[in-house]
Amino acid sequence: MLTLENVNVVFGKGTPDENHALKNVNLKIAKGDFITVIGSNGAGKSTLLNAIAGSVMSESGSIRLNAGGAGELDVTKQSEHRRARFIGRIFQNPLLGTAGNMSLEDNMVVCEKKGYRGLRLGLNNARREMFRERIGKLSLGLERRLRDNVALFSGGQRQALTLLMAVMSRPEVLLLDEHTAALDPVNAERVLSLTKEFARDFHLTVLMITHNMKNALDMGNRLLMMDAGEIILDIGGNEKQNLTLADLQERFRAAKRRDLANDEMLLS
């Protein structure tokens, strides 16, 4: 449903700081894939997600998206704004995904507008009900705070809400860039389990960057490891299910193209 062919991203082209952040990346993502993405700092993980979302443009190659019913769309040259109809994104910073100066209810309305544009009012009402129900199921007590400004909520509450809003706008692909890294362990765990639950219930296609090896192993059906702008490991199916941390370390050492001083950090 999402195909990247020979995607290249070069920052600072022609300058002394030229940086080939994605090198001929080829990737085919199937509908319903939940892919965890690992790799050390600067490996190109965020750039991969940025290239998919259109916040950085690929120099060459193509990015094609099979958006429900509309057939395959070539989005390579499409702006980030146009692709946002199909792509949901969540970042590390819990303040980015929701508008702090608006109430929870108003945030929900914005989210509705982003999602099912042009639907009949009745359907939107049904959706709002579903939204409220889901907010209740977050077990964060937010159903009693619909009129409160989102700025009053904790980082964990906001990130859970961001996740819910992203999911409710029914993206074809959900891109998560270390979306629990800024949360305390309890909230991180809660948001991760919501991520799993939503992915299952809404049949989402997900790319999730994480520095937590355990999460990368435990979650999803496929794992990518990046290094120096390339995907150096792509493990799916049973192999992924049975993969241990020791296997991953071994595979990484065998696959990497250069000596990394920070192996230990990557694989901690």
Q: What residues make contact with ligand ATP under the rule CB under 6 A?
A: 11, 19, 21, 39, 41-47
Rounded least distance, CB 256 to ligand ATP, Å:
14
CB 263 within 8 A of CB 257: no
Kindly tell me which of 46 and 162 has the beta carbon lying closer to Mg ion.
Answer: 46
Q: Which listed option, ligand ATP, Mg ion, none, makes contact with residue 171 (CB within 5 to 8 Å by class)?
A: none
Kindly tell me which of 12 and 32 has the beta carbon lying closer to Mg ion.
Answer: 12
Rounded least distance, CB 161 to ligand ATP, Å:
23
Q: What is the DSSP string of 99-134?
A: -TTSBHHHHHHHHHHHSSTT--HHHHHHHHHHHHHH
Number of residues that bind Mg ion (CB under 5 A): 1
Tokens of 197: 């639950």
The span from the CA of 167 to the CA of 184, in Å, is 22
Q: Which listed option, ligand ATP, Mg ion, none, makes contact with residue 222 (CB within 5 to 8 Å by class)?
A: none
Rounded least distance, CB 135 to ligand ATP, Å:
30
Q: Which of 20, 174, 197 is nearest to 90 (CA)?
A: 174
Q: Which listed option, Mg ion, ligand ATP, none, makes contact with residue 42 (CB within 5 to 8 Å by class)?
A: ligand ATP
Tokens of 264: 């230990």
Rounded least distance, CB 128 to Mg ion, Å:
34
Site string for Mg ion, 31-70 (x = CB under 5 A): ---------------x------------------------
The span from the CA of 243 to the CA of 220, in Å, is 12
CB 34 within 8 A of CB 208: yes
Residue with tokens 């992203």: 166
- Cβ burial 93-127 (10 Å sphere, 16+ → b, else e): bbeebbeeeebbbebbeebbebbeeeeeeeebeeb
Kindly tell me which of 84 and 181 has the beta carbon lying closer to Mg ion.
Answer: 181
Kindly tell me which of 45 and 179 has the beta carbon lying closer to ligand ATP.
Answer: 45
Kindly tell me which of 25 and 161 has the beta carbon lying closer to ligand ATP.
Answer: 25
Task: Name the site residues for Mg ion (rule: CB under 5 A).
Answer: 46
